[in-house]
Structure 1
């Protein structure tokens, strides 16, 4: 054990190899029951072994929702890699393990101590979280979403493409499946994991992924690497599907998603996808399933209780207490089949700030706003919009019927951005409020403020920005609106999108004009937002001519 109080000590790696050693599936995992030696991982460990599975038995598993080791056409070797103890032999896990002495000095004369130990495992069961399946089918249908990287070879490309497509479909079906492994020759040890109930997970919560990039490839280097971010969104009944902007790379599936509260780490979820694309656009978010949901499903597939896993009371609130308030300030702006986002800048008057390009098709359809798919849409008038390809991509719309709900007590505040400062981007990205999801929240920093004549003309952040976020707000940790999201960047040669490199209009530069309009209702002042300057045009041409990803989708 790394420490008697260390939850990371129960995060590990699973490897499954065919007997000839030619094919290996590997993923991160969690020692979910330290008394009985039960290791939980995601079914992504099976992705490379799909062709080694019995098609008929695998099909039955997908239909019935559970199965055992007979899904394989032949035997596989299973190995689990766990963190090694730091305090000598009393921390060794296994009966057949040699005594290991801690390294006092880095010297060739001292016996090397590996940071991990390995143990044989036995395939116990594969099972499905059916509610997770329903949520994924609703929010992320297979015809629009992809969760595995295409690796088709150039030679014999048609056959490879067919195989890749079939494999991708199978991996999609296994997205809501998990695998339980029983460790062999293990002493029972005290459990240090504390479980957080899914209903306590909130958008904006600070979270940490503990997992092993690339699985078993090099545990000496990557075992239980950590990355931090926030919960960008939650979806499904009791918030069972979790989306986070924390870094997650292949091999991290099956790893632990911890809720961070001061120095405590509560197990909130298990990673299920490190990579995802929507309509061939890379989405810089990772998916997890609430661990309480997985454990609830697991109990129906076991003949005994997992009594060593502790459920904890709710600890703390939002790490960023202003976020719930800001979620109420961001609207989904609908223009026909397309959409973007907007920020309510005056609740009493129903004034909403958005991007001009979000209103691109307004001549052919009306403009409406709503909080989510289930809330009624409210029609809007366009007060002003800058011409397309203008330096400042800004529009102001107003609800025709304004029904305030008390949030007028908390008017939006404008702020000034500082390079390196923590920021939150909030917008109706990706889902358009589908399934009553909240606006997406991503955390990052201000990476660059571009100035002309000492006036801010562009703000860049490291937050993950996705389709539908155009017109959304960039907020600082004081809840102030500091910028309006315009677009992210795109490689025009490869077609690749970069969500973490995005361009925004600094509110600092346009705030005085907007405030003057709110005070006077003089729409003529808004024409000042249309700036004509060749130098600024060269700056923004990168964000508007080459990067058209955030025209509404």
Structure 2
């Protein structure tokens, strides 16, 4: 069994915004270290994922990190691009940005900060929390991660070393906060109606509103179910 190597590190950034993240920088990089490349594109729901971490036995044990496999059960996105203001700019042509991943891989206390890896070996997210029953019992197979797309400033810092990049992560974002608080996203302002209405268009609009209303009810039921389970912010 390979001997574990402990490395000194210092904190570079602790988020003051909606995302529960912190960044540590190694004082020296060991030659045994193998880097994992991030995938900034939106991952595919239903794909196989692997979570790496020390959740069961802890890094102090002589055992190597555990790997649990599951399915990317849900990808939650907000209907706008992230990080388009400030010192960095991403592709503003994106209509939505993934901000939360839900997987069925087993995640236990102590696994926070572990990577979520896809079947191609790319990092697609960072484990942050899992759900609990009302009595406090952890649900290992219901956990949440931050997609790499939402962590793009972190990866930009590794290339540039410019700490001002982090400012965009600390800016208030109502949509992002709503997702991680497990509440429905704020609705957009309704479009103004035209004075010359076509009866067929009006009928179609009522049908569209009916479908949207039912979708909203289904979404609220799912959110209420998750809120009853409780979201543990640290694992």
For the aligned pair, the TM-score class normalised by the smaller chain equals 0.5 to 0.7
Which runs of no fewer than 5 residues in structure 2 stay unpaired? 80-95, 183-225
Counterpart for residue 507 of structure 1: 148
- Inter-partner Cα distance in structure 2 for 1:480 and 1:439: 17
Counterpart for residue 516 of structure 1: 156
Which runs of no fewer than 5 residues in structure 1 stay unpaired? 1-237, 239-371
Counterpart for residue 436 of structure 1: 62
Q: How many residue pairs align between the two structures?
A: 173
Counterpart for residue 207 of structure 2: none
- Inter-partner Cα distance in structure 1 for 2:150 and 2:233: 24
* Paired residue secondary structure (1:528): helix
Counterpart for residue 90 of structure 2: none
Counterpart for residue 166 of structure 2: 526
Counterpart for residue 422 of structure 1: 48
The 5 Å alignment of 1:347-386 reads: 375-386=4-15
Counterpart for residue 118 of structure 2: 476
- Inter-partner Cα distance in structure 1 for 2:148 and 2:166: 14
Q: Are the aligned partners of 1:418 and 1:446 in contact in 2 as well (CA < 8 Å)?
A: yes
The 5 Å alignment of 1:91-130 reads: none
1:457-511 C-alpha deviation (Å, 9 max, x unpaired)? 111001111011100000000000000000110123x223211111100102322
Q: Are 1:467 and 2:93 an aligned pair? A: no
Q: 1:397 to 1:406 in 2, by over 3 A?
A: closer
- Inter-partner Cα distance in structure 1 for 2:105 and 2:234: 15
Counterpart for residue 29 of structure 2: 402
Instruction: Give the one of 94, 97, 100 matched to 1:458.
Output: 100
Q: Which has the higher strand share?
A: 1
1:38-87 C-alpha deviation (Å, 9 max, x unpaired)? xxxxxxxxxxxxxxxxxxxxxxxxxxxxxxxxxxxxxxxxxxxxxxxxxx
Q: Are 1:449 and 2:133 an aligned pair? A: no
Q: 1:431 to 1:455 in 2, by over 3 A?
A: same
CA RMSD of aligned residues (A): 2.5
- Inter-partner Cα distance in structure 2 for 1:438 and 1:406: 14
C-alpha displacement of 1:448: 0.4
Q: 1:484 to 1:434 in 2, by over 3 A?
A: same
Counterpart for residue 412 of structure 1: 36
Output the TM-score relative to the length of structure 1. Answer: 0.29
Q: 1:455 to 1:531 in 2, by over 3 A?
A: farther
C-alpha displacement of 1:434: 4.4
- Inter-partner Cα distance in structure 1 for 2:154 and 2:33: 22
- Inter-partner Cα distance in structure 2 for 1:385 and 1:379: 18
1:318-341 C-alpha deviation (Å, 9 max, x unpaired)? xxxxxxxxxxxxxxxxxxxxxxxx
Q: Are 1:392 and 2:16 an aligned pair? A: no
- Inter-partner Cα distance in structure 2 for 1:484 and 1:456: 13
The 5 Å alignment of 1:309-348 reads: none
Q: Are the aligned partners of 2:128 and 2:233 in contact in 1 as well (CA < 8 Å)?
A: no
- Inter-partner Cα distance in structure 2 for 1:450 and 1:516: 23
Which structure ranks higher in relative contact order (CA pairs < 8 Å, sequence separation ≥ 6)?
Answer: 2
Q: 1:528 to 1:462 in 2, by over 3 A?
A: same
Q: 1:518 to 1:448 in 2, by over 3 A?
A: same
- Inter-partner Cα distance in structure 1 for 2:106 and 2:4: 26
Counterpart for residue 485 of structure 1: 127
1:291-337 C-alpha deviation (Å, 9 max, x unpaired)? xxxxxxxxxxxxxxxxxxxxxxxxxxxxxxxxxxxxxxxxxxxxxxx
Counterpart for residue 181 of structure 2: 541
- Inter-partner Cα distance in structure 2 for 1:538 and 1:405: 40
* Paired residue secondary structure (2:32): coil
The 5 Å alignment of 1:2-151 reads: none
Output the TM-score relative to the length of structure 2. Answer: 0.66
- Inter-partner Cα distance in structure 2 for 1:464 and 1:449: 17
Q: Are the aligned partners of 1:469 and 1:550 in contact in 2 as well (CA < 8 Å)?
A: no
Q: 1:468 to 1:447 in 2, by over 3 A?
A: same
Moved over 3 A (4+): none
